[in-house]
Structure 1
Amino acid sequence: MKLYYYRSIAPNFGDDLNNVLMPKVFPRFFDEDDLTLFLAIGSVLFDHHPHQALKVVFGSGFGQYTAAPRLDDRWKFYCVRGPLTAQALGLDERLVAADAAVLVNRHMRDEVPKRFKFSYIPHWQSLLNGDWPKACELANVELIDPRWPVDRVLEMIQASNTVITEAMHGAIVADALRVPWVPVLPFHRSHRFKWSDWAGALMIDLRPYATFPATLHDLWVSKTGRDGNWMSSKNRLVQLAVGAANNALPYIAARGLRRLSEMEPVLSSDVALAKAVSKLEDAADRIRRDFHR
C-alpha cells in the first residue's frame, strides 16, 4: 500500500513526519501501490482520492479545507484524529483515538538535554511572509522552523522547556513528548478547526492565545480572512507602505512572544495520553493483521 500525505509548496514538519514515523510503526509495510492508500498524519480525509483506491484511515482528520468525503466501501476506518472528524463524517465516536503523530511518544522519544527556555514554531505559511527569525531574536526565544528536517525539529522540541506554537503538529508532538506548550491562534482561520478536533481527543480545554503577526500580510489575513494579494502590487506607494509595516511588525511580534512566554503552558493528562496511545496501537495491530505481508 502507498503512504499518502499532503505535500505543500514547502517542506512541513507535520506532513513530513509521516515518512519518518509511519515506517517505524509499520515496518516493511509501504510501497508505491496506489490501489491502496494509507492515510495517517494530517487533514487528508477529503474527496480528492481516486474512487477505485481503498483508503485505509489511521488517525487522520477532516480539516474543513474541502467538503467532507462521500464514504463508501472503499473507505476502511481504523481510527480518526478527533470527535469533530467523527461528527463531520458521521462515524462512530468509538473510532476517535488521536492524531497518529501522538505515536512519537513510543517510537521517537529520546533523552535530550534542555538548551532552550522557550521555543517558537510558526505555521510554515507564516514563515513565507513574516520575519519570525528577527522577532524570535528580539524576544530571546529560539525559532523552530517547521520546514527543517523532521529529526532536527524533534530534537529542538525535546531540547525546549516550553514550546510556543502556531503549528498544530508542534503542539501535538510536544504534548506527546511531554514538553509543555502554549497554543497560538493560527493567523489563517482555515487552520483552526483541526486544532479543536485533536484537542478534543485528548480532553484538552483548548484556549489558544491571539498574538501579533510579524508581517502585514498575516495581519491582513488574520483580521479579514481574505488573501493579501494586493500587497504584491507594483505601485510604489503600496510597496513603500508594505515595506514600512514589515520593518516595524517584527518588533511588535517580539512583544507578543514575550507575553506568550508568561502564559501558563498546556499539557494533556498522562491518563488521556496513555489512552490515546493505546487506541492508536490497538488500531495499528488490527491493520497489521488485516494487511499482513
Structure 2
Amino acid sequence: MRLYFYRGKSPNFGDELNHYLLPKVFPGLFNDDPSAMMLGIGSVLFDHHPAGVVKVVFGSGYGGYTAPPVLDETWDIFCVRGDFTARTLGLDPSYSVGDSGILIYDYRNPTRTKQHKFSFIPHWESLERGCWKEACRLANVHFIDPTAPVPEVLHAIEASEVVLTEAMHGAIVADALRVPWVPILPFSKAHHVKWNDWASALDVDLRPRPIRASSVQEQLVRWGRSGRRLDGVTGLRRRFLQTLDRRMTERAAESLAMLTNVTPSLSSDESIERAVGRLNERACAILKKYAPHIQR
C-alpha cells in the first residue's frame, strides 16, 4: 500500500515524520500499489480521498479542515488520534488510542546529552510569517526549525531540557521522548482542536499559553487577515513596517522568555506506555491483515 501524508509548499516536521517513522513500524509494507493507502500521522481524515481506494487509518486525526469523511467499506479504521476524532466519525471510544507519532517512543535515546536548557519550535506557518529565529536569539532560547530534516529536529528535541512548542508534533514528539514541554497556543484558531484531540488520549490536562506575534504578518493572521497585503509595500511605509517588525520581535522575545518560567507538561509514564502498547497492537493487526508474511 501507499503511505499518504500531507506535504505543503514547505516541509513540516509533523507530516514528514510519517516518512521517517512509519516504515520502521511497518517494515516492507509500503510500495506504489494504488489500491490501498495508509493514513497515519496528521489531520488527514479528509472527505476527498479517492472513493475506490482502501483507506487504512492508523492514529490519524480529524482537524475540521473539510467535512468529516463518510465512512464506508473502503475505510479500515484501526485507531484514531483522540476522543474528538472518534466522536466526530461516530466510532466507539475504544478507537481513541493516540497519534501514531507517539511511537517515536520506541526509538528514543534516553542517554542523549542535554545541550539546551530551553528550545522553541514554532508552527511552520509562524516560521514563514514571523521572525522567530531572531526572537529566540534575543530570549536566549534555542531555535528548532520545524522545516528541518526529521533526524535533526529529533536530535534537537532530545538534546533539550524543556521544549516550548507552537507546533503540535513538537509537543507529541517531546512527550514521547520524555522531554517536558510547554504548549503555546497556535496563532491560527483552525489548529486548536487538534491539540485537545491528541491530549485526550494521554489524559493530559492541556493548558496552552499565549505568545506575542513576532511580526506584522503574524499579527494580521491572528486578526483573521492575510499577511500577503504587505507584499509590494515600499518607501516610508516599508521602513515603518520594518521598524514595527523589530519592536514586535523584541516583544515576542520577552514573551518567550517569560514562558521559560512556566511549569512544563509531561504525560504520565502509565499513559504513554498504554498508548504505545495499544498502537503497537494495532500495528501488528495491520501487518497480520495486509502483510502476513512480514514479521515485526
- TM bin, normalised by shorter chain, reads over 0.9
User: Following the alignment from structure 2 to structure 1, what is the Cα–Cα distance between the partners of residues 187 and 236?
Assistant: 26
Q: Is residue 195 from structure 1 mapped to residue 195 from structure 2 by the alignment? A: yes
Determine the structure 2 residue equivalent to 1:270: 269
Runs of at least 5 residues in structure 1 that lack an aligned partner in the other structure: none
| 1:108 to 1:26, Cα distance in 2 relative to 1, 3 A | farther
Q: How does 1:167-178 map to 2 (within 5 A)?
A: 167-178=167-178
User: Following the alignment from structure 1 to structure 2, what is the Cα–Cα distance between the partners of residues 271 and 291?
Assistant: 30
Query: Per-residue deviation at 1:258?
Result: 0.6
Query: Per-residue deviation at 1:112?
Result: 1.0
Determine the structure 2 residue equivalent to 1:144: 144
Q: How does 1:244-259 map to 2 (within 5 A)?
A: 244-259=243-258
User: Following the alignment from structure 2 to structure 1, what is the Cα–Cα distance between the partners of residues 175 and 279?
Assistant: 16
1:113 is paired with a residue whose SS is coil
TM-score norm. by structure 1 comes to: 0.97
Q: Confirm or deny: 8 A CA contact 1:104 1:177 kept in the other structure.
A: yes
* More off after superposition, 277-286 vs 236-245: 236-245
* More off after superposition, 173-182 vs 106-115: 106-115
Q: Confirm or deny: 8 A CA contact 1:21 1:107 kept in the other structure.
A: no
1:11 is paired with a residue whose SS is coil
For the aligned residues, what is the CA RMSD? 1.2
Determine the structure 1 residue equivalent to 2:285: 286
User: Following the alignment from structure 1 to structure 2, what is the Cα–Cα distance between the partners of residues 93 and 120?
Assistant: 33
Query: Per-residue deviation at 1:229?
Result: 2.6
Query: Per-residue deviation at 1:237?
Result: 5.2
| 1:88 to 1:237, Cα distance in 2 relative to 1, 3 A | farther
2:69 is paired with a residue whose SS is coil
Determine the structure 2 residue equivalent to 1:211: 211
**Residue by residue, what CA displacement relative to the aligned partner does 1:210-239 show, whole Å, maximum 9, x if unpaired?**
0102111111212x2232232225364543
Determine the structure 2 residue equivalent to 1:232: 231
Q: Which amino acid aligns with 1:141?
A: V
| 1:232 to 1:76, Cα distance in 2 relative to 1, 3 A | same
* More off after superposition, 67-76 vs 213-222: 213-222
Q: Confirm or deny: 8 A CA contact 1:79 1:283 kept in the other structure.
A: yes
**Residue by residue, what CA displacement relative to the aligned partner does 1:257-290 show, whole Å, maximum 9, x if unpaired?**
1100000000001111111111101100100100
User: Following the alignment from structure 2 to structure 1, what is the Cα–Cα distance between the partners of residues 34 and 135?
Assistant: 43
Determine the structure 1 residue equivalent to 2:73: 73
User: Following the alignment from structure 2 to structure 1, what is the Cα–Cα distance between the partners of residues 259 and 219?
Assistant: 18
TM-score norm. by structure 2 comes to: 0.96
Query: Per-residue deviation at 1:107?
Result: 2.7
| 1:85 to 1:144, Cα distance in 2 relative to 1, 3 A | same
Determine the structure 1 residue equivalent to 2:182: 182
Q: How does 1:149-164 map to 2 (within 5 A)?
A: 149-164=149-164
User: Following the alignment from structure 2 to structure 1, what is the Cα–Cα distance between the partners of residues 206 and 167?
Assistant: 14
2:119 is paired with a residue whose SS is strand
Identity of aligned residues (%): 48
Runs of at least 5 residues in structure 2 that lack an aligned partner in the other structure: none
**Residue by residue, what CA displacement relative to the aligned partner does 1:51-108 show, whole Å, maximum 9, x if unpaired?**
1110000000001111111111110000000000011111111001100000000134
User: Following the alignment from structure 1 to structure 2, what is the Cα–Cα distance between the partners of residues 128 and 47?
Assistant: 28
Q: Confirm or deny: 8 A CA contact 1:203 1:268 kept in the other structure.
A: yes
1:24 is paired with a residue whose SS is helix
| Structure 1 outlier segments of 4+, above 6 Å | none
Q: How does 1:32-111 map to 2 (within 5 A)?
A: 32-109=32-109, 111=111
User: Following the alignment from structure 1 to structure 2, what is the Cα–Cα distance between the partners of residues 48 and 239?
Assistant: 41
Count residues with an aligned counterpart. Answer: 292
User: Following the alignment from structure 1 to structure 2, what is the Cα–Cα distance between the partners of residues 245 and 127?
Assistant: 18
1:98 is paired with a residue whose SS is coil
Q: Which amino acid aligns with 2:96?
A: V
* More off after superposition, 162-171 vs 224-233: 224-233
User: Following the alignment from structure 2 to structure 1, what is the Cα–Cα distance between the partners of residues 78 and 137?
Assistant: 44
